[in-house]
Chains A and B, each alone.
Chain A
Amino acid sequence: MCTNLTLTTSISGSGLGREGWFAVDQAVVYFDHPQDAPLAHALCLDVRGPSSVSDPAERVAVELDVRSARRLAETILATLDHREVRTVVGSSSAEGA
């Protein structure tokens, strides 16, 4: 199957692209046929920024199998929930918490 299901969320930070770092402001998440991963379907993530509009290659992209995608999501959350991170984020409002 192919899906039109696409979820987007606004983000803030930097991504490392073809020509170096660039500002990012949007994450696009979908589950569909990948471009390259040897899978029928993949969890696809595109991290984009204002410069992605003028240069479509300016993006950070990954295509993951379902288990990997879940592990990655859980690992991100586990990192953010770690005591040391909570301490750092709790002591500064500049971390975007």
Chain B
Amino acid sequence: MENVKMINLKINSLPVSVPEGTTVLDAAKSIGITIPTLCYMRKVNEIGACRVCVVEVKGARNLVASCVFPVAENMEVSTATERVLKARRTTVELMLSDHDNQCLSCMRSTNCELQKLAHDLNCDQHKYDGAVNDYKKDTSSPYLVRDNNKCILCRRCVAVCSKVQDVAVIGANARGFKTHIGCAFGRDIFDVPCIACGQCITVCPTGALTEKDDIDIVRAAIGDPQKTVIAGTAPATRIGLSEEFGLPAGTNVEGKLVSALRLLGFDKVFDINATADLTIMEEGTELLHRIKTNGALPMFTSCSPGWVKYVETFYPEFIKNISTCKSPQAMFGATIKTYYAEKCGLDPANLFTVGVMPCTSKKFERLRDDMSANGKQPDMDAVLSVREIARMIKRAGIDFVNLPDGKYDAPLGVASGAGFIFGATGGVMEAALRTVVETLEGKPLEKLDFKAVRGMKGIKEATVTAGGRKISVCAASGIANAKAVLEDIKSGKAHYDFVEVMTCPGGCVNGGGQPVRNAEKLNFMDIAETRAKPIYAGDAKNKIRKSHENPVVKALYEEYFQYPNSHRAHEVLHTTYAARKKYKDI
């Protein structure tokens, strides 16, 4: 530890000592004072724009934004004087004056940062009544809805899109009172190279950004006696869901989720962790094949549809490097509509597959070309995010917290620890290494933990030796990090054999379909890490920790796919990619 200079100041007359460079916001937090924020996102959106976090600093002419104001020696800060509280209240009242205020019917009601602030600050909603902007909702995409009438222009979405994801398809348009967030030239979100990651939704403090709600489609299918409705739950779903029911972040609610889905009327509840294992078999084999035949390397993972769309749009020269494997969700749907339908003697037209996903991009993936294994029906019929499934559970009056633990249905009900860790960044890589290294070595692995690829670092690298060959790997999460990796590969600075990319920072645990992150989750905890912990704990506890040892997977190959990368496997479990134009008409 270097010698960090400590700064002594007073906050509300109490002495505080914090390292130089600390913001007033953090200094206050260190003594138990939470200054409210809206626009602030640590390291991502430090713009001091909303003015909710203002405090009084002795000697300063105006109030200062504590989120970006650094402490100074002998500074005297007051965080809750009349002047400060009145200013914050006025700021929120002004926001309310240009807000649709339809709280009663808003998807974010009770989970809205603006609503909470208005309540905490005792705001008069009508004090500044005046002209109100009237924006058209953007419902152009199959995964998100933007309702600018609820937007408070905190720009958290803009920052996450440009800084974390480096996609930057949204920004401020117009100016003054008419300023609003949108795409260049006022285009719809589905008409720009948005990668559907949904990170913008999870950081939105209000109801301005929400997922495209598919609950009604699913409910209709459940209500249709002809349909067998089959749910598949993604690895990280069972973790994030706990937060929607007031349980501590990082609680694994797998059993309750299974029970709840049954109560909701799903005919079968399967685990997509199992098809994650299937993915490892296919992807690992593909990697070995590429290595053996001098195919395109590095090979990139393909489980994260936002990433795939990103490469297709921005780096088409790397399309050949993406594994042709479908994602675990798509493999799940494909398996159900082929193998499972055959096995159970069901007409695939009457099977309705629902992905329960920590993701919004999966709503987009479902609609991609070449996502129909039997050539007639789509692999997946609907995709619900964690937030939607939580709403469905609440709407049905299910006492989620007190539910008994249910068990997944067979055949896709057993999964390895390797399949589970798909939910965190580096997990696919680790799962693949367990299988690939063992295959190359020709003997059981002794050490199953590849710790170098674990953790929340944006880019992780490792080299493993297997079968007398060095395999160098990399795991990146967040597209900005992925872009850096791509550029390093392009320039020859980096050489990898296998690269895992997760679109969302931290992986699916922090996916665009997970519970929204409020100021506390954004700025004072590492929510991705918190959610990843139970995943690795679950892996450690699992008796089966390698995908190729999953009996379900073995059965699938024996009964249907024969062997990994077989002709049938290729037909059902693999797909193709194509370069995309950034804009349809440009």
A complexed with B: no
